[in-house]
Amino acid sequence: MADVAKVMGVAPGTIYLYVEGKEALFDLVIRHTAADNVEWLDDLEIPVPTPAPSATLAFLREVFHREGEWPLLEGALRLSSAPEIQTELAGVLREQYRLMARHRRGLVLLMRSALEFPGLAEEFVLGLRKRLLDGLTAYLTSRVHAGQIRPLADTAATAAVITQTIAWANLQRPFDPGLTQLAEEAVEKATLDLLVSGLLPTHPTP
C-alpha cells in the first residue's frame, strides 16, 4: 500500500479513503483488468470493502472458464479440416495474440502475484493456461491428421512453445528497456509470421 501511495504521490493513509486494504485493492485491480469497459466503476461502494474469503479466486475461476473468449479457435475445433489452412491458422493465432495484448496488465499482475496470493498459481496454471493449451493442442492435432499442418514431434510441446512465444511478445517484451522501441504492429506481425510459416508444410494443402 505504501508503494502504491508513493507512485500516486499521496500519503499512505489516503489510499484507505478508497479501499479498505490491500485485499480490496488487489481484487479491484483484478476486476478492472478483466472488464471490457469502466462503466461498472460508477457503482462502486467507496471505500471498496475487503472481499469475502476466496471471492477473488472465484471471480478469476469464472473468467478463466468464460465461454466465447476464443471464437475462432472454438469454431475451428468443430471442423475436421480447414477450408484454407493458412488463413485459419493465422486467425487462430492472431486471436490468442490480441486477447493477450488486451489483457496484458492483468496477466502481468497475475504472473507477478501468483506465488504470493494463496491459490492463485493453481487457478492461473490449471485454469486459463491449461484451457488454452488443451484447446490449441486439440486444434493442432486435428490439422496434422488432416495433412494441413506438418507432422509434429510433440503436439502438446508445440502448443506450449506457441503460447510462450505469444506471451513473451506481449508480457515480457514490452517491459524490456532494450525492446520497448519496437512497434507493436511490427512485433505482432513478426511473431505470427514466424509461427504460421513454421507450422505449415512446405507445400501447404487447402
pLDDT tens-digit series, residues 94-150: 999 998 898 888 888 888 887 777 777 777 767 778 888 999 999 999 999 999 999
Domain ranges of the chain: 2-51, 60-199
Give the rounded percent of residues in the chain with a pLDDT score beyond 90. Answer: 59
The residue with greater pLDDT, 188 or 53, is 188
Asked if 34 contacts 103 with a C-beta cutoff of 8 angstroms, the reply is yes
pLDDT at residue 150, as a whole number: 96
Collect all residues with Cβ–Cβ distance below 8 Å to 70 and sequence separation of at least 6: 95, 96, 99, 132, 135
pLDDT-based confidence at 206, cuts 50/70/90? low
For residue 19, the model assigns a pLDDT of 93
188's grid cell: 505482432
pTM for the model stands at 0.81
CATH 1.20.140.10 is the classification of domain 60-199? no
